[in-house]
A = this chain, B = another copy of it.
């Protein structure tokens, strides 16, 4: 969107040189979400140092961050990729249903043409990536879709919380996307939400959102059971 705002008098520098820490944090987070590091796996600091090419200071600070984020659990003998108990997952889906549907409804009430266009673009992206079977990309596009909704609806704090929760169930989400069913219904529900927002119909949007999450939860339960 706003790559370089060199036009106009806007010479403002808003991105102080990115730190190694920020890069490492992003990489580690994506690695965990993508399942490169399996739940329960030990995260040996010195090993990560070599893998990322940074010092232990950086790695340790990143691990602290991920720990607070809930993606990593620090046991007595060092950091471990957090594993999700089914009951936790169920609670997370419940909370998501509450926060996301509220945001979706708010968004449907206030959405203007700009927001609608943005959402449509995100949905298109999701469907395109789904067609390519690039599931990580689908996840990221979905994230952008929700981001737009939370921002437009003015629920930025809830958006932050949900982003956190998305990360924690991401392992499952990659699994659920493995379900042939979900590959179809997921994008369909998303499109329903988008269309309800486009029609400025809060009730329909909220309902579609809750249905979407309920379905995801059901699939996750089936997958976690086995």
Binding site for B on A (CB under 8 A): 16, 57, 60-62, 64-70, 76-77, 87-88, 91-92, 95, 98-99, 102, 154-158, 160-161
Determine if B91 and A158 form an interchain contact, defined as CB atoms under 8 angstroms apart.
yes
**Residues of A contacting B: mostly:** helix
Contact for A99 among B60, B62, B98, B154, CB less than 8 A: B98
C-alpha spacing A88/B62, complex, angstroms: 26
- For A16, the chain B residues whose CB sits under 8 A away are 76-77
Determine if B155 and A91 form an interchain contact, defined as CB atoms under 8 angstroms apart.
yes
- Measured CB to CB, the nearest residue on chain B to A61 is B64
- For A95, the chain B residues whose CB sits under 8 A away are 99, 157-158, 161
- For A69, the chain B residues whose CB sits under 8 A away are 68
Contact for A102 among B70, B98, B155, CB less than 8 A: B98
A-B contact pairs, 14 of them (CB 8 A): A16-B76, A57-B57, A62-B64, A64-B64, A64-B65, A64-B68, A65-B67, A65-B68, A68-B68, A92-B157, A95-B158, A98-B98, A98-B99, A98-B102
